[in-house]
Each structure stands twice: as C-alpha cells, then as structure tokens.
Amino acid sequence: MARVTNQQAGGGKVEFSARIGRTALAATFAMAARARALRAAGHDVISLSLGEPDFPTPPHVVEAAHDAARRGETRYPPLAGTEALRAAVAEKYRREQKLDIPPADVLITNGGKQAIFNVVMALAQAGDEVLIPAPAWAGYEQTVRFAGASPVFCACPQEQNFVLSPAALEAAITPRTRLLILNYPNNPTGAAIDAAGLGALAEVIRRHPHITVLSDDIYEHLLFEGEYATLAAVAPDLAPRVITLTGVSKSYAMTGWRIGFLAGPADLIRACTVVQATATSGVCSIAQAAALAALTGDQSHLATRAAAFAARRDLVLAGLAAAPGLSCVRPRGAFYVFPDISGCLGKTSPAGRRLETDGDFAMALLEEAHVGTVQGSAFAASPHIRLSTASDDATLARACTRIAAFCHSLR
C-alpha cells in the first residue's frame, strides 16, 4: 500500500503509513481553528461550529472525581472499565430502555469516539463496506477510512426529514456490507426516529444476516418530542448483532472527561476490548468515577437541559426564518440546525466572493459576518450548513441576526 512522504525542513524524509494519507481531519476542527484565528486578530466572532454543550459538568460529578483521586483510585483501571461503572451502565439501560444487558457485556471507552473506533476496527477491513446514512457526523467516515474499509453513504433527503427509509437501506446493502451505523437523534440534522421507523428498518436488517448495526445513541437524552426508541429494544431478535453506543459527553456536559459506553453481544464486546487493549490500557480511573456519579446521581437536569435546547432550537428557527435563501427542517433532537442554503448559491457576497458551494458560503459567513458554522459537505450532504445551538440565547439571537443580514446582502 502506498506510503505518504513528507519532506522535512532539515532534508530528512518521514514516511507515513497509507492510513494517514487516506484519513482527513474533520472540517469541524478546521472551521473552529479559523474562527479562533479571526478572534485572535480582534474580530468579534460567534462560533457555532463545535458540538459540545455550553453547560458545566454537574458539581456533584466534579466532586466525585476529586474524591476518587483522594481515595487513591489512581492505578491502572480494569481494561474494560470498573465493575461499578459497567454495572451502572447496565442499570441505566434497564431503567431507560428496558434493555437487559449484563455488566459483562458493557465496555467503557475513551469517549464515544473510541467506542466507534473499537467497533469499526473490530469488524471492518479492506474490501468491506460500512453503510452510513447521510447527512452524517464526519467521525464515521474518518474511522472507516482509517480502518481501510469503504464508507458507503446512503442519502436521507430533507424531504424525508433526513430519516433513513427502508427502501434506501435495502438498495444500499451489498454482499460486502459489514456494518450499518444508525444515529438518532442525529448529528448534524437533529432528525429522530420512532419505534415504528426502527421496526421498518429492522425488517430489512433481518433479511441480511451478514450485517451488524452500530446504534450511536450519544444524543439519547436530547429528544424534544415523541418517545425515545433504540433498535436493540425495538427488535430484540436482532440484539446478537446490534451494538449500542451511549456516553456522558452530550447528556451530562462531560465532553472533556472522555467517557463512552458500548453495550452489545459478548463476542463483539470482546473483540472491541482487544482493539482498546491495543490502543490504551483502559480509561482514566478518575473520569470513570465521575461518570459513575453522573449515572447514579440526580437525573433531573437531563430534562431541564433538553428543554433548554428545545427552546434554543425554536429561537434559531425563528431567527433563520428571516434569512432569504435558507430553508430548515425542524430538528427533533440534539443541538444542531441544518438549513439548506441552495437559495444563496450562485450569488456574490459583499466582499466579492462568488458562492458556488456550501464551503464557500460557510467561509464567507465566517470571514464577512463573523459567524462560524460547518459546511454540509463535511457531513456528506450539500448544500447545507450546520449551526450548533449550544450557546446562550443572546449569542444565538445575535448570530441569527448576522446570518439574516448576510443572506440579505448577497447579490
């Protein structure tokens, strides 16, 4: 396989593996870096490009971490996670989804991201296809390419509220499909799926026994309307080939603690543990103690925060209604809005930028109106932009005013 070379300033040559060459860093990071640079240059930039809650981690969770460190929980933790946290995750699934998962079938990971890495590396290799309903979080494609497998995007159009249809799923499956990734509530669209929708997808999955499903439920607590549903609970007969991902990053405002959970069939959890053992020696013991406190402590803030995010969604939708050329679907969960911007393409910005793509639009919006977003192409869905609603109301309102003024100014 071809290597990637890099001519060093001193004349030496570093040869990187082919996997580095085929793995691009997510555009979300690039946009945030540009926003930081503009801010450092003195501009008043509003960045709506990153996907993390602006709320603080609950104080009792922070206290639990302090306590664990003082108690001396500072040694190598068990590879698959502490017994207490795995039991708490199993109990969480019983409590919230009526899923009966033994603690032994739970793996604690370094964030949801490592959970995805573990699953993809355990299942997929060169020649395999991983089905990704799009719009999709960029992390999936990156990981699949890293593993040497091929991402296959399955379009979920705005007219269908960005939800995967059974027909589209059926049409995308081939003998090489190893893994299907489902993500509801969805990043970047906020789309959600109910039990009936999952039941219809389950019928297709049943017809193709060679497929495993990763259900990425990281936004499970941020559903604003309807009943939450997850595939392993809706279709228990499929449980032997469904692995479910959750975590504390989004629900408990703990992105920096890097804790994720995988729950699924014992053989797949074992394979994921092998990947994890190869990459790390388990997950920070202090962060695990914090996550345990999050899962076993007061849960009332989950509903409070979901209500706050729902109100912000409404605020942003109302603000963007004044922006000509943008059309939005009402997100049902998560903390993103994903407007279609096709009405702005082919136009020219006040600084003379011709807007041909959503990347042009997002860059012009950042450079000229100082609002950071992410272009839809980063989520395999153009022409769109993604706005994160994880900022306070005043900031969101100011951002919407700038976006509307920018759209009005296009000629």
Stretches 16-24, 61-69, 107-115, 359-367: which one binds ligand PLP (CB under 6 A)?
107-115
Q: How far is the CB of 279 from ligand PLP (least distance, A)?
A: 14
Which residue in 53, 77, 111, 190 binds ligand PLP (CB under 6 A)? Answer: 111
Q: In what order do the strands lie in the sheet with 260-263?
A: 106-109, 260-263, 242-247, 212-216, 177-182, 129-134, 150-155
- Out of 93, 117, 137, 162, name the contact with ligand PLP by CB under 6 A: 137
Considering the complex, state which of residue 52 and residue 368 has its C-beta at the smaller distance from ligand PLP: 52
According to CB under 6 A, which one of 34, 113, 221, 241 is a site residue for ligand PLP? Answer: 113
Contact residue for ligand PLP among 143, 230, 255, 389 (CB under 6 A): 255
Length of the chain in terms of residues written: 411
Determine the interface stretch with ligand PLP among 33-41, 247-255, 318-326, 348-356 (rule: CB under 6 A): 247-255
Two tokens at 359? 């990347």
* Alpha-carbon distance values, 285 to 78, 88, 388 (Å): 9, 15, 31
Q: Which two tokens stand for residue 406?
A: 């920018």
The residues near 131 (Cβ < 8 Å, ≥ 6 apart) are: 152, 154, 169, 172, 173, 177, 179, 180, 181, 211
Stretch that binds ligand PLP, among 91-99, 108-116, 207-215, 324-332 (CB under 6 A): 108-116
Q: Give the binding range for ligand PLP (CB under 6 A) out of 6-14, 111-119, 290-298, 381-389.
A: 111-119
- Interacting residue with ligand PLP among 58, 77, 247, 376 (CB under 6 A): 247
216 binds ligand PLP (CB under 6 A): yes
Residue of 375, 336, 380 whose CA lies nearest to 30: 375
| 252 vs 406, beta carbon nearer ligand PLP | 252
Contact between 246 and ligand PLP by CB under 6 A: the answer reads no
- Minimum distance between the CB of residue 162 and ligand PLP, rounded to whole angstroms? 13
End-to-end CA distance of the chain: 48
What is the secondary structure of 326-351 as a DSSP string?
Answer: -B-----BTTEE--B-GGGTT-B-TT
CA distances from 295 to 58, 92, 247 (A): 11, 7, 10
Nearer to ligand PLP, 86 or 113 (CB): 113
Secondary structure of the chain: what % helix, strand, coil (to 5)?
A: 45, 15, 40
Assess contact for 333 and 216: CB atoms under 8 A. no
| Listed ranges 15-23, 41-49, 106-114, 310-318: which one lies at the site for ligand PLP (CB under 6 A) | 106-114
Residues that bind ligand PLP (CB under 6 A): 51, 111-113, 137, 139, 183, 187, 216, 218, 247, 249, 255, 260
